[in-house]
Amino acid sequence: MRIGELAGRTGVSERSLRYYEQQGLLVAGRTPGGHRDYPEQAVDRVIRIQELFAAGLHSRKIARLLPCMRDADGGPSERATPRLVAELAAERDRIDRMMTQLAGSRDVLDDVINAASEPDRRAAGADGAPGEPAA
């Protein structure tokens, strides 16, 4: 498929797809005229790349990681070097910590959102019971 279709199906801009290729994250065939031609599996790969970016990995690390992960495409799947394994373990721990933080922030947001639609307890207790007995 061509870059426009891949962009549409993944939600990733053409600009980014070209950037991924430049960084060695994505390989594309070429038509005789020089247009990129992507295989079907590129869709999954692009989504994976996006997820890894979202997880805070940099393109260089992703580039080293990609050949080691066997996705559905069943590629050769290299073995990660001890050095890379150590780096990835650190990344994974960082991601774990980030998930914990995200959960905390999400709860904070929920709290504020819920408080905004509560009936108004100005000087009421923390419970959800109806407000102070009218005088």
Tell me: does residue 87 bind DNA (CB under 7 A). Answer: no
**Binding residue (CB under 8 A) for a second copy from 35, 39, 106, 132:** 106
Counts of helices then strands in the chain (DSSP H, E): 5, 2
| Ranges within 25-54 binding DNA (CB under 7 A) | 28, 31-36, 50, 53
What is the rounded CA–CA span in Å between residue 58 and residue 39?
24
Least CB distance to DNA at residue 2 (A) = 4
74 Ramachandran zone, left/alpha/beta (phi>0; psi -120 to 50): left
Residue 55 interacts with, from DNA, a second copy, none (CB under 5-8 Å by kind)? a second copy
CB closer to a second copy out of 14 and 91? 91
Distance of CA 5 to the CA centre of its chain: 21
- Give 49: exposed, middle or buried? Use CB within 10 Å, 0-12, 13-18, 19+: buried
**Contacts with a second copy, residue ranges (CB under 8 A):** 48, 50-52, 54-55, 57, 65, 68-70, 77, 79-82, 84-85, 88-89, 91-92, 95-96, 98-99, 101-106, 108-113, 115-117
